Amino acid sequence: MSYLSFGSHMDGYNTFKSAIRMCFAITVGEFDFMAMYGINPTMAVIFFFPFNMLFVFVLTNIFLAIINQSYKEASNNARQ
């Protein structure tokens, strides 16, 4: 979606591979929302906020699942 929406106007999204790399950069907090908004305001809002929220929730859930699994293993080892 980012490749199709911003690829012809932004350097970071001009190839499919670079668009994937830029989407990863968004998940770690490196982004220029105003540049996307300046090119296509509607698609910037439709793409950026759901993408960002989805990946923040997914990555947070994965992190909490890892912590929960480690806690369960530690408590099972303590009982034995």
- Integer Cα distance of 20 and 18 in angstroms: 5
Q: How much is the pLDDT for 2?
A: 85
| pLDDT tens digits, one per residue of 33-79 | 898 899 889 999 998 889 888 888 888 899 999 999 988 888 877 77
* HSE (side-chain half, CA atoms, 13 Å) at 21: 9
- Integer Cα distance of 54 and 49 in angstroms: 8
AA identity, residue 59: L
Q: How much is the pLDDT for 68?
A: 93
| pLDDT tens digits, one per residue of 6-19 | 888 888 888 999 98
Question: To the nearest 10°, the Cα dihedral for 41, 33, 28, 2?
Answer: 40
Which DSSP state fits 1?
A: -
Q: How much is the pLDDT for 67?
A: 94
Q: How much is the pLDDT for 9?
A: 86
Q: How much is the pLDDT for 11?
A: 85
